[in-house]
Amino acid sequence: MDLPPEPAPASELPPPPPSRTRRRTVAIAVAILGVIVVGVVVAIIVSRGDGFPDRVLGYQRLHGGAAERAERVMESIRIDDLELNAAVYGEGGTPRLVAVIYGNYPAGVDIDVIVDGMARGMKRSGGRVEKGSLEKTGGPGNRFACVEASGPGLLVPGGPDEAGVACVFQGASTGLVITTHSSRSDSGLRDARAFYDAYRSA
């Protein structure tokens, strides 16, 4: 009688197919990667998503003649059901803070996945991210995470070499804040919470 073949060693077995949840998580990470690159590219043009406060962290919301074009660019981004709204804040016409709100963002995506996608997007646009600087905090119903970032792609690709923080938040809204208002992750958490609170109150 022929014996059945011995099972292949674990090292030779093909990896299991990714679960639907994992595929969804990876897809969202890629979505963030693409969206943040586009977001910072049009940020200097000035976007004007609905519901943003007029001032935050002492910076005035920037507006300009190209706002309509920027808005059309933002609205043209379609990745699954994800929607994107962005606003730029600054002083003297110089951007100092870029804020992005994701609409229809799926629940259950870990905040570390959002941070990773944001970091990769910033690197593609010319920025540098200090991943060892990651700081996180949270409370009932919300979470915040910040990393220190710098480079010519911090706020505007190809712009001046600046240092600041890149933060993401999850709660009643999901989004990110990139700003030169702070240069340390711990103080960036306060900036992200200040924007989140201002946005929710607008």
Q: What pTM does this model have?
A: 0.75
**pLDDT per residue of the chain (202 residues) written in tens, 0 to 9:** 444 444 433 333 334 344 555 455 544 554 454 445 444 444 444 444 468 999 999 998 877 644 344 445 555 666 667 777 888 888 877 778 888 888 888 878 888 888 888 888 777 777 889 989 999 999 888 999 999 999 886 776 566 789 999 999 999 999 889 899 999 999 999 999 999 999 999 8
DSSP string, the chain: -PPPPPPPPGGGSPPPPPPHHHHHHHHHHHHHHHHHHHHHHHHTT--B-TT--SEETTEEEP--TTHHHHHHHHHT--BTTBEEEEEEEEETTEEEEEEEEEETPPTT--HHHHHHHHHHHHHHTT-EEEEEEEEEEEETTEEEEEEEEEETTSSSTT---EEEEEEEEESSSEEEEEESS-SSHHHHHHHHHHHHHHHHH-
Domain boundaries, the chain: 18-201
